[in-house]
Structure 1
Amino acid sequence: MNKLEEYLISKPTAELHFATIAKLLKELDDDKLEKAIKLIPAELLGDVALELPDRYFDDIITNRTTDELKIAITALESDDQLDFIQMLEQFDKNIANKLFDNLHKDDQKEITKLKKYKEHEAGAYMQLEVFEAVMDENTHDVIKRFATLKNNNELEHIQNLFITNKQKKLMFTIGLDDLLVFDFKKSLKENIETNKNSFEAHYAKDSDNIKDVVHQFEQFDLPVIPIVDDKGLLIGRITSDDVYDIINSQATKQLYNLSGIDDEAEEDDNTIKIAKTRASWLGVNLFTAIIASLVIGFFQDTINSMVALAVLMPIVASMGGNAGTQTLTVVVRQLALGDIGKNDAKRIIKKELTISLLNGILFAFVISIVAYLWFDIELLGLVIALSMIINILVAGFFGAVVPLLLDNFKIDPAIGSTVVLTTATDIVGFFSFLALATWILL
């Protein structure tokens, strides 16, 4: 608590950073949190609330007045205003509606406009605040106008000037560093025509998938990207800090999906709700485990006649599962990064099968020697070696094919891949090992 108080009085409010406040709040016990929240300047409250994990949101809302929450929302940029209102609606829709009605009409209009977009569309993540100018505008007048807007805190985090025609159709994007070396006496159009640099505008449409927009940022190393509508008219922008948040969110979601976990549920403090979401996935795993056990049951007589098979059997399934998980992780991540093209499926499958074959042969040789030295049974090493090669090959195949198929059908490749992979490697591993043992050893 002392650290937070010391930080809040150490600087003027304008120089305080919401991320530092959020970090200090997370270090506090629950009994000190309520008092600490009341110390946060209302102008920073919105940014702090969005920076903190979702479980803190309820505490912030219940410990601040409606007027303070209004100040908090007003201080946010349009995209963050939408996020705050949507989180507030989940907490208490009546409070959200009351607060929305008290906002300035311009803020209401912007939030309503952004709300119409679907979650996967670029428009849902854009800020409506942009720094723009028309082609014929004088460069000196543009810079003077920018200074006025900046001093009045009407613009934040501006890296580029967007040039449009009189109909607001996007024409060019100019970095502020380039703008400062323009001839101030000339118009923007004259400066652009005589400049050797290219000011081509890399843009995205508001209806584009946000994943494609993220790839543009990565491909062209963009600090910001303008957003246009279907007519090419400038309507907003997405900044790199928003993209970082999107990347982190997507990576977290993908990691959770691989383990059958709901990323949104995990943010909740309700242990019953979390347990239910995890239980559904565990139930699927239980079903697949029963199927694998049924395969083992078919060879009960074989296992009873040779105890060594029961000892070695899990090794085959485990190695297949681990090899498949390696392939699955690589393919899912490459799909997420856009490193796999539409015609790369055959190349990826061939590559992973080759790797699986090489590793299969290597570990088949190792385990065959271990099995023979351990149990001193002729041909037991051959049985487990052949089974190891078969299962690791199958693991590599399913680890590559399943995410590629899911991605082809526009389904998150992380969802369901692990269940299919585990089921395949367990069934093939147990069946190949016990069937070969029955055929060769008995």
Structure 2
Amino acid sequence: MPNKNLEEAKEKLKKHIIDESELSAADIASHLKILKTHDEDEYAKYLEKLDAHTLGEAAMEMPEHMLRDVIENIPNDKIAEAIDELESDDATDLIQTIEEIDEEKAKELFSSLEIDSQKEISKLINYEDNEAGAYMQTELFSARLDESLGSAIARFRIMKQENKIENVFSLFVVDNEGVLKHTIALEDLITYDFNLNLNQIVVEDEERFKPHFAIDSDDIKVVADIIMDYDLSAIAVTNRAGILLGRITTDDIHDFLKESATEQIYNLAGVNDEAEEEGLVKTGRARAAWLFVNLITAILGVIVIGFFEKSIESLVALAVLMPIVASMGGNAGNQTLAVTVRRLALGEIGIDDFWTVLKKEIIMAIFNSLIFAIFLGVLVGLWFDMPMLGVVIAVAMVANIIMAAFLGTFIPLTLKRIGLDPAVGSTVFLTTATDIIGFFVFLGLATWILL
């Protein structure tokens, strides 16, 4: 029986190649992934049939293992042509990704690029991953103050016809030294007389055309906040002297936020986001590393329980009830952890806010823990006809939930302070800590008070 998804993928790719039907780069990559899964031969054939422009766009959407297929099976000149046709920021990203897979291949491809592409990539590749310059594209629509609007529009028309620029939202106006002075939205440009020069246009309302901009060394998180706060379609990027270098568009910010969110979620679970796109062996190996850590930490919890083996033998109810204390602590801690990591990622809090954040979480933990502790204490006291057992589990729950709130704040902020991703492994360490504390407090109190 034919695979419906496979046949659909073949048909759509065939139409795209033969009839030049419109398919997004993400769709092409997705269809190729289906072919690779079900029919390696067909996958290789369609990969070779893609034109250079489509290949470049699709390569940006491919996981690393598929990109490896591209660089191993597609001629260098075609890959180089594909990279040349990409916007400067995408071309830089693609070269860097290829370099991670095969450094020698990346060098070969780079030397095959057009001189202009080499210059732009060399410029962008020097920025740190978190800097605005690493996300900017150098292709932009700009004009000098003394240039006429008609002349600027004519240049823009040629740029579009030659596919030298995409997704233009505004005109960046610079002085003779290249310093950014104004930003004019395209929708505003068409309302003016094309015979006017740009200086005559902006002088009418300089405040209206005052540019929003980022410095190339700014943190990309700050730039993302500016774009979202002012609902910008694009933002100019300058150096510290104010000279216009490039622009960052909303799709760049969207990609950054998507990657950041994915990384945070995977890190919280102890999963490698890149490995998840690989085959079963690599995916399993990546997950196994953190599962091994979790196994070791789980053994620590068992060791703590072992200290109270005789107590559990004397009062079997302890074995029945102790998972409740650990579970409530773990859930409360994960709530705090998720909120703290998210606020750190969005820049809403920093290391200096530790005591403010901790105070809020502790107060909330005390309030919630008292409510559930009273409820559970009464329920356990009636269930086992042992009022003091109800008191013990209530006190243990309050202690564990408060400690969970502390750790859910302390762990990510401490990781941030020492320069590590606050999400990496936080869940594993937090769950282990709440389990150990919950078991120790509950069984310790029970041993002291009841036995």
Aligned to 1:27: 34
Residue 12 of structure 2: aligned partner: 3
* Residues in 1 aligned to 2:218 and 2:391: alpha-carbon distance in whole angstroms: 55
Alpha-carbon displacement from aligned partner over 1:124-157 (angstroms, at most 9, x marks no partner):
2211111111112111211121112111211111
59, 67, 70: which one aligns with 2:69: 59
Residue 425 (str. 1) matches residue 434 (str. 2): yes
Q: Are positions 1:154 and 2:161 aligned together?
A: no
| Matching residue of 2:111 | 101
Structure 1 residues not aligned, in runs of 5+: none
Contact 2:351 2:416 in 1 (8 A): no
Please identify, of 108-117 and 51-60, the stretch whose mean Cα deviation from structure 2 is larger: 51-60
Q: Which runs of 5+ in 2 are unaligned?
A: 1-9
AA at the equivalent of 1:167 = E
Q: Which residue of 1 aligns with 2:136?
A: 126
Structure 1 contact 353–393 (Cα < 8 Å) conserved: yes
Matches within 5 A, 1:140-179: 140-179=150-189
1:86 aligns with 2:96: yes
Q: Which residue of 1 aligns with 2:3?
A: none
Asked if the contact 1:54–1:268 (Cα under 8 Å) also holds between the matched residues in 2, the reply is: yes
Please state how far the C-alpha of 1:191 moved relative to its aligned partner.
Answer: 1.0
Residues 201-212 of structure 1: matches in 2 within 5 Å?
201-212=211-222
1:2 is displaced (CA, Å) by 2.0
Deviations 1:33-76 (A, max 9, x none): 11221232222101111112222112233342223222211211
Q: Distance in 2 between matches of 1:409 and 1:181?
A: 54
Cα deviation per residue 1:240-268 (whole Å; 9 max; x = unaligned)? 11111111111111111112222233333
CA contact 1:133–1:161 (8 Å) conserved in 2: yes
The answer to whether the aligner puts 1:227 opposite 2:270 as a matched pair is: no
Q: What secondary structure sits across from 1:221 in the alignment?
A: coil
Deviating more after overlay: 79-88 vs 165-174: 79-88
Q: How far off is 1:344 after superposition?
A: 4.5
Query: What SS does the aligned partner of 1:194 have?
Result: coil
**Counterparts of 1:309 and 1:59, CA distance in 2:** 57
| 2:409 aligned counterpart, secondary structure | helix
Q: Residues 267-321 of structure 1, C-alpha deviation per residue, up to 9 Å, x if partnerless?
A: 33372x4444434433433333333333323323222211111111111011100
Q: CA deviation at 1:411?
A: 3.1
Secondary structure of 2:49's counterpart equals coil
Alignment of 1:280-359 (within 5 A): 280-340=289-349, 344-359=353-368
CA distance in 2 between counterparts of 1:61 and 1:39 reads 15
Match of 1:216 in 2: 226
Provide the rounded CA distance (Å) in 1 between the counterparts of 2:280 and 2:110.
28
- Mapped to 2, the partners of 1:206 and 1:197 lie a distance apart of 23
Contact 1:214/1:243, CA 8 A, preserved across alignment: yes
State which drifts further: 58-67 or 230-239. 58-67
CA distance in 2, matches of 1:66, 1:343: 50
Q: Does 1:47 align with 2:54?
A: no
User: Greater shift after overlay, 317-326 or 331-340?
Assistant: 331-340
Equivalent pair of 2:182/2:202 in contact (CA under 8 Å): no
In structure 2, distance between residues paired with 1:266 and 1:23: 15
What secondary structure is seen at the aligned counterpart in 2 of 1:225?
A: strand
Q: Is the 8 A contact 1:162 1:174 kept in 2?
A: yes
**Range that drifts further, 235-244 or 287-296:** 287-296
Paired position in structure 2 for 1:392: 401
Cα deviation, 1:157-216, whole Å, max 9, x if unaligned, reads 111111111111111222111122233222212211113752222211222222222222
C-alpha distance 374-30 of structure 1, shift in aligned 2 (>3 A): farther
Q: Distance in 2 between matches of 1:313 and 1:355?
A: 23
Describe the SS at the equivalent of 1:52.
coil
What residue is the counterpart of 2:78 in the other structure? 68
Deviations along 1:366-389, whole A, 9 cap, x unmatched?
A: 322432343333311111111111
The count of corresponding residues between Structure 1 and Structure 2 is: 439
Partner of 2:412: 403
Are 2:64 and 2:274, in contact at CA under 8 Å, matched by a contact in 1? no
Give the Cα separation in 1 of the matches to 2:278 and 2:32. 18
The residue type paired with residue 436 of structure 2 is I
Which residue of 1 is the match for residue 25 of structure 2?
18
User: More deviation in 85-94 or 147-156?
Assistant: 85-94
Which residue is equivalent to 2:204? 194
The one-letter code matched in structure 2 to 1:220 is: Y
* Contact 1:183–1:191 under 8 Å retained in 2: no
Structure-2 change in CA distance of 1:237 and 1:137 (3 Å) = same
**Is the 1:360–1:392 Cα contact (8 Å) retained in structure 2?**
yes
Counterpart CA distance in 2 for 1:90 and 1:406 is 26
Output the CA distance in 1 between the equivalents of 2:304 and 2:429.
16
Residues of 2 paired with 1:430 and 1:270: CA distance? Answer: 36
- The one-character-per-residue Cα deviations of 1:403-442 (angstroms, maximum 9, x if unpaired) are 2333344432212422332233112211211121122212
Residues in 1 aligned to 2:412 and 2:239: alpha-carbon distance in whole angstroms: 33
Superposition pairs of residues 236-315 of structure 1, within 5 angstroms = 236-269=246-279, 271=281, 273-315=282-324
Please state whether the residue corresponding to 1:51 is helix, strand or coil: coil
Alignment match, 2:145: 135
